[in-house]
Homo-oligomer: A and B are copies of this chain.
Amino acid sequence: MEKAELERQVAAAVDVARREVPLVGSVTNAVSVNFVANAQLAAGGSAAMVYLPDEAEFLAQAGGALYLNLGTLLPVHEETMPRGARAMRELGKPWVLDPVGIGIGSLRTGILKELKVCKPAIVRANASEVIALAGLWELDGGDVRARVRGVDSTDEVDAAEGAAVALARWTEGAVAVSGAVDLVTDGTVVATSRGGSPLMEKVTGFGCSLGGVAAVYAAVASPLAAALAATAAYNLAGARAFARAQAPGSFQAAFLDELYEASAADVAGNPFDIREV
């Protein structure tokens, strides 16, 4: 793929999402559910959050994409997550997985194992989580003992490239690895995206809401374009927000403002590099 063609697809994802307002269902964690919804709205989507299995299936039918984030699991998620993912798989629609907290608790491990065959269109995670997920799914570059620390990564993005590529090849989708420099791959090309602000680690939910926005774009674009569009939009809005606000409370409000105001051309023009793998 040419860089210019990917830029064009990123711009189209941002633009079409704003025009079509795709409905995106989410089963996501309690910590950042509000931020996820607001980021999805700022990016042009329509957001609906549920906990119950048949409600996830309803949104699978009604929506253009589904977002599954494993943050704060409740017992009901044992059924809801797999049923939501299976519904999307059967419908041939894209769903986005954020395996946050991978390695904490037996239910999370069980659900994540079950989700493998449902092949998410996009996996969004930090480096340690990507390595751990590839390990759990027994793919190249994976290591179930990846040093995830709570919800934080202890690995650099570079170290996760092999795992990310293997995951993308398995899912035939895309993987977005968040870090100082972000990496997005579909298993054939690797794009690295720059920007953002270190303050994004000082406010909870930037990773989660990036996954939610990726789902909005996935409803109207290819997994690679959607994952890169969301990553680029976050890098752009994060850098712009930091120029306005250098502390976390006002930074988060400024970020939502900038995400809302970023044009398709701005997002597509946010610096990234691309290479084949």
Number of residues on chain A facing chain B (CB within 8 A): 61
Closest 6 pairs (CB-CB, A-B): A249-B256, A247-B257, A249-B253, A48-B150, A55-B105, A37-B204
- Interface 0/1 of A28-49, CB less than 8 Å to B: 0111111101100110001111
Beta-carbon nearest neighbor of A74 in chain B = B51
Pick the residue among B105, B252, B257 that contacts A58 (CB under 8 A).
Answer: B105
- Is the CB of A113 closer than 8 A to any CB of chain B? no
- A244's closest neighbor in chain B, by CB? B250
Cα of A62 to Cα of B151 in the assembled complex, Å: 12
Residues of chain A in range 238-259 having any CB-CB distance to chain B below 8 Å = 245, 247-250, 252-258
Task: Tell me how far the C-beta of A98 lies from the nearest C-beta in chain B, rounded to whole angstroms.
Answer: 14
Interface mask (A118-135 → B, CB under 8 Å = 1, otherwise 0): 000000000000000000
- Residues on B with C-beta less than 8 A from A76 are 74-75
Oligomeric state, in copies: 3
> Could you say which residues of chain B place their CB within 8 Å of the CB of A51?
30, 72-74
26 contacts between A and B (CB under 8 A): A23-B152, A30-B51, A31-B33, A31-B37, A31-B49, A41-B201, A41-B202, A41-B204, A42-B202, A46-B149, A46-B151, A47-B151, A48-B101, A49-B71, A50-B72, A52-B75, A52-B105, A55-B101, A55-B108, A75-B76, A202-B260, A247-B257, A249-B256, A249-B257, A250-B253, A252-B253
